């Protein structure tokens, strides 16, 4: 029995990570594959029976997992980010979310004959989208920058706020168990104890981190232990106040100054990926499709209201007076997939409410999963074609972010812009940025690895990064920062003279630098010198007769090959140690020094003179 349980637990972990990997490879939300895996492993094959496997520990395991996920989500909620957002996002996560929840609750009450309490709880649960499903979908759909920013920030902000709304509704329901006269008193105690416990936990962890009272290697596990301790203590003092406590704790830490939470957030994100994978499979394995079948068409009615009434009304009300076009509003009305918070919290609340005697609570989980599966599958399959039809989608992410707006960056940026690529130059030097703008290039005036850049640097349609500043440390930092954004194969850096001359002790590790642009001996200073002397980037289309071998024989080492465009217009980069060999039909872009250009011009002039003399009947000299 024990060995069988070990096999099942190990299988859940392996299947969960395999689903995450498959989702990354196919660029689809991981939740889709996790749900399908859980359904196949549970209701379909019977391989996993969570109630038999975990027994009485199922409720504590789910509740602790949800507590960690909510804490990690609330760590991303910074007040200054809300202030800097547009009216549409602020409206969507405030009264727009309330409108959404109220419409869903009303439909649930009348279609499914839910009590108003459970209807409002279900409405609060499924009004929440989240970054775990929104961000992978944005990579596939690629809407324009207006829509991408709105959807991205809505998903980030509404995740903890929507969870908080669901927690408050749930706690209001549970507080009514002592009688109507005590409902508000118990509810107030939940808010007070949850808020105070969470605030004290945040202050305690902030003090530990600020004063370095704990060694670095214990920060991550120590913070995890404290979060679980705050959750358990709050629940001990007042039932069901723990989720509110960890949400408040995360929100306070996110908005405190001089608290180094970056490493903790990275650790919690990794832990959340594992917890999300495990919980989704476990919870999906508990779905009883017989309950949904028993409800019948009424459940479909609620789902249709969510898709075609609740979300559109919320979006239209939130976008009144905005600059969004009608087509942008239409796509915004359609994209709202539900994610991990709805799934995990619904299971947690349903288990608790069933134990309190709410018979209809058993329907909350299958209904929530029906909404999750329906929105993820339907919107993942249709959002990209709809965005193309509405003409609000961006082209494939072939654009380039260039860190550094120096003369070399500007020359390369102009050449690629002329080929139709979206180029963005980022720099803190105002003179370089001004010169780039005078050249008609898109720019970002600021540090490309700053928090401000995370919020304001528009990377829609951009999928490649060139680190080309004159500062090696900034280039290396940019490579590390954008490797997760664009993947390692799309990260490049241009060597500086300082790096080329550095000893092994002083040199930046190669795995931080990205692929070296244009060759081992090519530096920023060398290219800058050539550009200052009149070097230009020239494009040459290859053919069967004039192939790349002939091209290299003609020019040899006199030119520096930079890029190659394949017949589909995709950008390929010449790098140190690379094996790029353009074929017929490709276009090669190279930097031609001034003296080579002069020779080419002289040869072309001589050829024209020769042709003209032949046409005039004048014999040419030999």
CB 309 within 8 A of CB 105: no
Domain span at 15: 2-390
Separation CA 108–CA 299 (nearest Å): 8
Supply the mean pLDDT for the chain: 80
Question: What confidence tier does 233 reach under pLDDT thresholds 50, 70, 90?
Answer: very high
375 & 413 share domain: no
Does 577 score more than 80 pLDDT? no
Say which range, 309-313, 493-497, 618-622, has the weakest mean pLDDT: 618-622
Each residue's pLDDT tens digit, 242-287: 877 888 888 888 888 777 776 676 666 677 778 778 887 887 887 7
Separation CA 481–CA 493 (nearest Å): 13
CB 492 within 8 A of CB 517: yes
Say what the pTM is.
Answer: 0.61
Separation CA 393–CA 145 (nearest Å): 9
Spatial CB neighbours of 236, under 8 Å, sequence gap ≥ 6: none
232 & 215 share domain: yes
60 & 110 share domain: yes
Helices 326-334 + 145-175 axis angle, to 10: 40
Task: Tell me what percent of the residues of the chain surpass a pLDDT of 70.
Answer: 83
Question: What confidence tier does 142 reach under pLDDT thresholds 50, 70, 90?
Answer: confident
| Strand ranges of the sheet holding 587-592, from the earlier edge strand across to the other edge | 536-541, 587-592, 560-565, 571-573
345 & 414 share domain: no
298 & 405 share domain: no
* Residue where a domain stops, chosen among 328, 355, 390: 390
CB 363 within 8 A of CB 294: no
Does 396 score more than 50 pLDDT? yes
* Residue where a domain stops, chosen among 341, 358, 390: 390
226 & 126 share domain: yes
Inside any domain, residue 622: no
Q: In the numeric block, which tokens belong to residue 39?
A: 């359904």
Inside any domain, residue 617: no
User: Residue 531: enclosing H or E segment and its boundaries?
Assistant: helix 524-532
Q: Can you list the alpha helix ranges (DSSP code H) found in 238-363?
A: 242-255, 262-285, 289-295, 297-305, 311-318, 326-334, 340-355
**Tally of domains within the chain:** 2
Q: In the numeric block, which tokens belong to residue 335?
A: 């994209």
Inside any domain, residue 148: yes
Spatial CB neighbours of 430, under 8 Å, sequence gap ≥ 6: 445
At which residue do the structure tokens 């009608």 appear? 326
Pairing of strands 560-565, 571-573: antiparallel
Separation CA 186–CA 180 (nearest Å): 10
Say which range, 31-40, 93-102, 133-142, 412-421, has the weakest mean pLDDT: 133-142
At which residue do the structure tokens 């459940």 appear? 299
Inside any domain, residue 237: yes
pLDDT for 136 equals 64
Separation CA 36–CA 214 (nearest Å): 42
Q: In the numeric block, which tokens belong to residue 347?
A: 């299971």
516 & 601 share domain: yes
DSSP 584-605: TT-EEEEEEPHHHHHHHHHHHH
382 & 458 share domain: no
Inside any domain, residue 614: no
What CATH number is given to the structural domain containing 591?
Answer: 3.40.50.720
Does 372 score more than 70 pLDDT? yes
Question: What confidence tier does 621 reach under pLDDT thresholds 50, 70, 90?
Answer: very low
Each residue's pLDDT tens digit, 305-363: 999 999 999 999 988 888 888 998 998 899 888 866 677 677 777 777 877 777 778 78
Inside any domain, residue 191: yes
Separation CA 221–CA 236 (nearest Å): 22
Three-state helix/strand/coil letters over 116-185: HHHHHHHHHHCCCECHHHHHHHHHHHCECHHHHHHHHHHHHHHHHHHHHHHHHHHHHHHHHHHCHHHHHH
Separation CA 99–CA 622 (nearest Å): 88
Mean per-residue pLDDT for 230-241? 84
pLDDT for 622 equals 37
419 & 359 share domain: no
Task: Tell me what percent of the residues of the chain surpass a pLDDT of 90.
Answer: 7
Inside any domain, residue 220: yes
pLDDT for 304 equals 92
3-state helix, strand, coil split of the chain in percent (to 5) is: 70, 10, 25
């Amino acid at each position: 029995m024990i060995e069988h349980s070990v096999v099942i637990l190990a299988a859940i972990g392996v299947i969960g990570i395999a689903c995450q990997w498959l989702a990354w490879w196919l660029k689809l939300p991981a939740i889709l594959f996790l749900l399908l895996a859980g359904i196949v492993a549970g209701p379909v094959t019977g391989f996993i029976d969570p109630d038999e496997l975990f027994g009485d520990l199922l409720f504590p395991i789910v509740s602790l997992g949800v507590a960690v996920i909510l804490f990690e989500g609330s760590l991303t909620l910074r007040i200054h980010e809300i202030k800097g957002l547009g009216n549409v996002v602020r409206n969507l996560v405030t009264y727009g979310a309330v409108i959404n929840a109220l419409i869903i609750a009303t439909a649930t009450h009348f279609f499914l004959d839910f009590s108003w309490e459970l209807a409002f709880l279900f409405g609060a649960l499924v009004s929440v989208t989240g970054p775990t499903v929104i961000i992978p979908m944005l990579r596939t759909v690629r809407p324009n920058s207006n829509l991408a920013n709105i959807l991205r920030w809505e998903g980030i902000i509404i995740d903890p706020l929507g969870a908080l709304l669901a927690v408050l509704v749930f706690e209001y329901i549970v507080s009514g168990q002592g009688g109507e006269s005590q409902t508000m008193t118990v509810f107030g105690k939940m808010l007070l104890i949850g808020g105070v416990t969470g605030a004290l936990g945040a202050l305690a962890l902030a003090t530990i981190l600020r004063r370095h009272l704990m060694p670095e290697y214990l920060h991550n596990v120590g913070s995890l232990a404290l979060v679980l301790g705050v959750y358990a203590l709050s629940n001990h003092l007042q039932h069901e106040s723990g989720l509110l406590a960890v949400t408040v704790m995360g929100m306070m830490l996110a908005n405190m100054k001089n608290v180094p939470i970056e490493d903790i957030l990275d650790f919690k994100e990794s832990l959340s990926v594992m917890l999300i994978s495990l919980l989704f499979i476990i919870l999906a394995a508990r779905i009883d499709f017989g309950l949904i079948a028993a409800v019948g068409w009424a459940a479909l009615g609620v789902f249709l209201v969510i898709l075609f009434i609740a979300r559109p009304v919320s979006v239209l009300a939130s976008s009144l007076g905005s600059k969004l076009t009608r087509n942008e509003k239409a796509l915004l009305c359609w994209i709202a997939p539900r994610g991990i918070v709805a799934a995990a919290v619904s299971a947690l609340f349903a288990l608790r409410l069933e134990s309190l005697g709410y018979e209809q609570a058993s329907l909350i989980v299958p209904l929530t999963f029906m909404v999750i599966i329906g929105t993820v599958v339907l919107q993942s399959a249709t959002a990209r074609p709809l965005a193309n039809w509405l003409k609000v989608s961006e082209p494939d992410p072939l654009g380039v972010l260039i860190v550094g707006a120096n003369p070399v960056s500007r020359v390369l940026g102009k050449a690629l812009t002329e080929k139709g690529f979206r180029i963005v130059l980022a720099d803190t030097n105002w003179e370089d940025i001004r010169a780039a703008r005078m050249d008609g290039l898109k720019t970002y005036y600021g540090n490309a690895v700053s928090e401000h850049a995370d919020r304001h640097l528009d990377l829609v349609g951009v999928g490649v990064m060139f680190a080309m500043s004159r500062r090696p440390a900034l280039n290396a930092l940019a490579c590390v920062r954008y490797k997760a954004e664009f993947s390692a194969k799309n990260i490049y850096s241009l060597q500086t003279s300082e790096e080329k001359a550095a000893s092994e002790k002083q040199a930046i590790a190669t795995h931080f630098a990205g692929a070296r642009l244009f060759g081992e001996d090519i530096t920023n200073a060398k290219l800058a010198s050539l550009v200052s002397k009149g070097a230009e980037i020239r494009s040459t289309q290859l053919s069967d007769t004039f192939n790349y071998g002939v091209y290299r024989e003609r020019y040899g080492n006199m030119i520096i090959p930079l890029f190659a465009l394949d017949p589909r217009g995709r950008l390929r980069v010449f790098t140190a140690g690379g094996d790029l060999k353009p074929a017929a039909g490709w276009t090669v872009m190279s930097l031609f020094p001034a003296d080579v250009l002069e020779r080419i011009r002289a040869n072309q002039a001589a050829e024209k003179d020769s042709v003209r003399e032949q046409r005039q009947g004048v014999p040419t000299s030999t």
